[in-house]
C-alpha cells in the first residue's frame, strides 16, 4: 500500500521515516505530507513536534487527536509549493485534504507556512 500522503512509496519508506526521526525532512513539502499522514494516524505527538514552538497548540492536542480519529481521511492533493527547499529557510505548501465527517465529504484547503527552527522544518500556520 502506498503512503497515506499520496506518494508512490510504502509508508515505511516515506512518512514513517520522518515520524521516527523527529520530523527531520529535507523540504517543507515533505514535512507537510508527513503531517497529513500523522493526522491520518492520529499521531498527536508528531503533530506537536512538527509544529513551530511559537504557534504550537499544546493545549489543543487531545482535541486535535480526537477529531483526527473521528473522520475518515480520503486523500491529499498538493497544489503548489513555493520555496521550502533544503537551502531555503521558509516556504509555503498549498494543498487539499479530503475526508468524510459524519457521512459527508469535506475538504481542507490550506496554504501553509513553514519555517526552519534549529535547522529543522516546522509548520508555522496559515500563510498570508
Tens of pLDDT, residue by residue over 96-111, are 999 999 999 999 999 9
How many domains, the chain? 1
Residue 118 included in any domain: yes
Residue 1 included in any domain: no
Task: State residue 109's pLDDT score.
Answer: 97
> Could you tell me if 96 and 105 are in contact, meaning their C-beta atoms sit under 8 angstroms apart?
no
Cell numbers describing residue 25: 525532512
CATH code where residue 89 lies: 3.10.450.50
Listed as ranges, residues in the chain with pLDDT below 70 are none
Q: Quote the pTM value.
A: 0.96
Residue 6 included in any domain: no
Residue 2 included in any domain: no
Residue 22 included in any domain: yes
Residue 94 included in any domain: yes
Question: Which domain does 25 fall in, by range?
Answer: 11-126
Task: State residue 24's pLDDT score.
Answer: 97
> Could you tell me if 83 and 92 are in contact, meaning their C-beta atoms sit under 8 angstroms apart?
yes
Amino acid at each position: 500500500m502506498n503512503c497515506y500522503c499520496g506518494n508512490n512509496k510504502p509508508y515505511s519508506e516515506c512518512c514513517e521515516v520522518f515520524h521516527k526521526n523527529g520530523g527531520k525532512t529535507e523540504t517543507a513539502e515533505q514535512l507537510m505530507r508527513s503531517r497529513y499522514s500523522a493526522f491520518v494516524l492520529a499521531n498527536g505527538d508528531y503533530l506537536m513536534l512538527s509544529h513551530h514552538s511559537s504557534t504550537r497548540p499544546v493545549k489543543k492536542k487531545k482535541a486535535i487527536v480526537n477529531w483526527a480519529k473521528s473522520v475518515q481521511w480520503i486523500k491529499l492533493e498538493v497544489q503548489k509549493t513555493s520555496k521550502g527547499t533544503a537551502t531555503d529557510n521558509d516556504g509555503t505548501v498549498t494543498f487539499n485534504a479530503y475526508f468524510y465527517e459524519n457521512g459527508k465529504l469535506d475538504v481542507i484547503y490550506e496554504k501553509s507556512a513553514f519555517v526552519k527552527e534549529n535547522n529543522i522544518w516546522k509548520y508555522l500556520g496559515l500563510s498570508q
